[in-house]
Structure formats: C-alpha cells, structure tokens
Amino acid sequence: MPTPTIAIADYNAGNIRSVQKALERFDTRAEITSSPEIIANADALVVPGQGACDSSMRHLHSGGLVEPIRDFIEGGKPFLGVCLGLQLLLDSSEEGEEPCLGIVPGTCRRLPAGRKIPHMGWNQVSFKKEHAVFEGVKDNSHFYFVHSYYADPEDRSLVAGTTDYGVEFCSAAAWDSVVAVQFHPEKSGSVGLKIYENFVRYTRES
C-alpha cells in the first residue's frame, strides 16, 4: 500500500491534534474528520478521546458516527482506540447512563477508592498477548495515563495488557484488526510513538 489514509474520528472529545501529529511522523495521511463517508473510505480508523462517556456518545450519535464506527470495526480494517476510545467499545459505563458502542460485552468501572483519582501520570503495562501494533514494545514499559474509569470486558481473552492502580485493570485490548489502549501513546515518549509507528505499518501491510 502507498501512503495510507488514517481517519481520526472528531467527536469533540479532545486530544485529537496531538494524535494526528504523532501519526504524521510515519508517512501517513492522518485526517481529523467527522464525516461518515471519509471514515468509511479510510484505510484505518483511530478513535481517541478524553472526557465523559455520556457526552461523547451523544456527540457520536448527533454526528451520525455510531454506525460508521461499528461498521468499520466489523469490516476488519485496522482500528485503534485511545483512552476513551477503548472505554466506548464496551456496552456501558458506571460514569453515566448512555449506552456505549456495544462492540465488546462489558462495563467501564470507576477506579477504586484509596488512590488518587484520576489516575494521572506514568504507569507500567504488563502485556498479555502479542499483536503487530505492540511489536518491539518491551513488557512492563511505562506509558502516560489520565483516567478515572477503566474497561472491564467480559471476555478476558481480549485483554492484551494490564496495569495496577489499586486494582489490576485492562489497559490494552486486542483482537483481529482491533487494538485499544487506556493510556495515551502520543504522550508517552518514544515507546508511545513506537505504537503509532507499528499501527501505520500494520495499516500499510493489511
């Protein structure tokens, strides 16, 4: 594949421009968009985000992006979810009442009391399974987190990495062409950029 086009879903969830800049380091066209047509025709899709599940799902619905995102994932092209982009894949969240995308059975749960919330800063990820997007990333590497809730999928075979913060939680999920992480690769220095580089290469080879 020549230079791939990667769509970055724009649904007013923040932190999008830094994701675009990270992807553009690796010979790709990274397009921030709220167009269902552009998303459908892209070679890969990234759904980043910071914020609340309820407001984010309302923006996705009002922008007509819910079904295009579901269809994209079901179509088998490379998908990367970042932070809220992982949480929204599940059925629901304790953070609010709006149903999430429902791609993965499970619930987003609030981090337990006893630790500072939100969980903000560097923490380790223990990788549990291999995926091309994690190639060359050392086990127990440190990544940058900012979140108060975590994804709790019912199917534990989807969990690709875990992190301990008062509870051992799913900090990465992966299956088929889908990868989603709770941390922010674009804020995680060279190891985070490696994930974006791998995602671009995976897209080019898919």
Catalytic residue ranges: 83, 184, 186
As given in the structure block, the two tokens for residue 29 are 């066209």
Shortest CA distance to 123 belongs to which of 138, 140, 142, 137?
142
DSSP β-bridge partners for residue 145: 121
Distance between CA atoms of residues 144 and 164, nearest Å: 13
Tokens 């609340």 label which residue? Answer: 52
Q: How far apart are CA 96 and CA 77, in angstroms?
A: 30
Ramachandran assignment for 49, one of left (phi > 0), alpha (psi -120 to 50 degrees), beta (any other): left
Hey, what are 170's tokens? Answer: 């799913």
Both tokens of 81, joined, read: 């979810």
User: What is the C-alpha separation between 193 and 199, in angstroms, rounded?
Assistant: 10
Distance between start and end Cα atoms, the chain: 8
Rounded-to-integer distance, Cα 90 and Cα 41, Å: 24
